[in-house]
Structure 1
Amino acid sequence: MPALKMEVIPYLENMIYLPMILTIVERDRMLFEQGNFKLKKPYIELLDDVARRVHKELGNTAAYLRGNRMSVVRGKMDDIFTEYIFVHDRQEDCRRYLNVRLRNRTEELLSHYLRQSDI
């Protein structure tokens, strides 16, 4: 397959990272709801705001990929690497990501979304 254009890589990677962020935010929201916090509402509102913005961006990303006939499929996974297959016009580009890199980048993006909150 010809190399993917650099401008499409962020969209493809969004399909990796944004669902991870949503999973984390939803899990953390449950912990705040069930936790023994004196004031839960501000934390829950903050997480809800992040989830709304991530959902919106994920929708925009999915629309872009559909419009350009692209998709992302998770391949093999082990303790060190996770493989993702970027599909474009029935051609595949297989990329392996270090699990530590996935975790660190997800954390960076989550921090970004938390700092950008409208609340």
Structure 2
Amino acid sequence: MRSLPTEVQLDVLKCLNFEQLFSLKQTNFYFLNFINKYEGGLARVKFYELSLVDVEAFDNQELDSYKTIKLEPLFSDFVLNDRLTEKWETAIAKSISLFLSESRNRSKEFAVQLKKAGL
């Protein structure tokens, strides 16, 4: 999440309630300082469900009713030396997928769907 722009991080954090923000603050100093800095602007909305959905399963009219946030790649200016390259290649080789899709069509486009509590 740290690689996302500040505005996107704030949009994500606005979806959390007080208990979730408090738990996240306890994970590390970055989140503690970030949440404390923007605490007044966080909505602390309670959601009923968070799920990954296949974009191709929706028709265009239904997609228009959702708020879409397009993420842009973030580039950093740093020198990539041989040691760091080796570490990254090793980490990628040993990485575990973040999620496993049960979709049979293996769509390449997915979205995160949030359902607010009480709706």
- For the aligned pair, the TM-score class normalised by the smaller chain equals under 0.3
TM-score, normalized by length of structure 2? 0.26
More contact order relative to length (CA 8 Å, sep ≥ 6): 2
More strand by share: 1
Q: Which has the larger radius of gyration?
A: 2
TM-score, normalized by length of structure 1? 0.26
More helix by share: 1
